[in-house]
Amino acid sequence: MAQTKKQKEAANKRRREQARTRAAKKRMLAAMEKSLGIVTVACSASNVPRRTHYNWMRDDLNYRRSVEDIGETALDFAEGKLLHQIREDNITAIIFYLKTKGKQRGFVERTEAVQMTPEHEWDPHKNPFEYLHAELSNTNN
């Protein structure tokens, strides 16, 4: 069955649009790699609207997996930088690492709540640990 001229034109138009979409996805993925997965920066660099990116994420499994892989690569990069800082004895990096990766070993920040009673009026200039010390002293007596 021979295609009519209109059908051929429509098929050619679809092929051109698909080729443009593939090229745009390729540009977007390259920009995502360069921006370490920051969507706004990648959209701007590749001239792809955010809405289009999220539509592709929803509709194209291969595209979504590629974006997720880029996110994992960016996370690996950041972890490498953190480990470098730890090797350089950066105390902030060490504390951050222990708070996030060392929880099972007890490196956790906990907040202690102390109930204020009427005889303990709150003084914003007083160190909260003084209230806690006083409360603990009363409990031990």
- Along the chain (141 residues), what's the average pLDDT of each consecutive run of 10 residues? 84 94 98 96 97 97 97 96 95 91 79 60 66 69 58
Please tell me the distance from the alpha carbon of residue 90 to that of residue 27, in angstroms, as a whole number. Answer: 37
pLDDT of residue 109: 75
Give the pLDDT confidence score for residue 93 in this predicted structure.
92
Per-residue pLDDT at 104: 81
Residue 112, pLDDT score: 58
With contact defined as beta carbons under 8 Å apart, do 93 and 82 qualify? yes
Q: For residues 76 and 86, what is the distance between their CA atoms, to the nearest angstrom? A: 15
Taking the C-alpha atoms of residue 81 and residue 87, their distance in angstroms, rounded to an integer, is 10
Residue 37 falls in which region: left (phi positive, over 0), alpha (psi -120 to 50) or beta: left
pLDDT for res 128: 66
Q: What is the pTM of this model?
A: 0.66
Q: What is the pLDDT of residue 102?
A: 84
First to last CA, the chain: 99
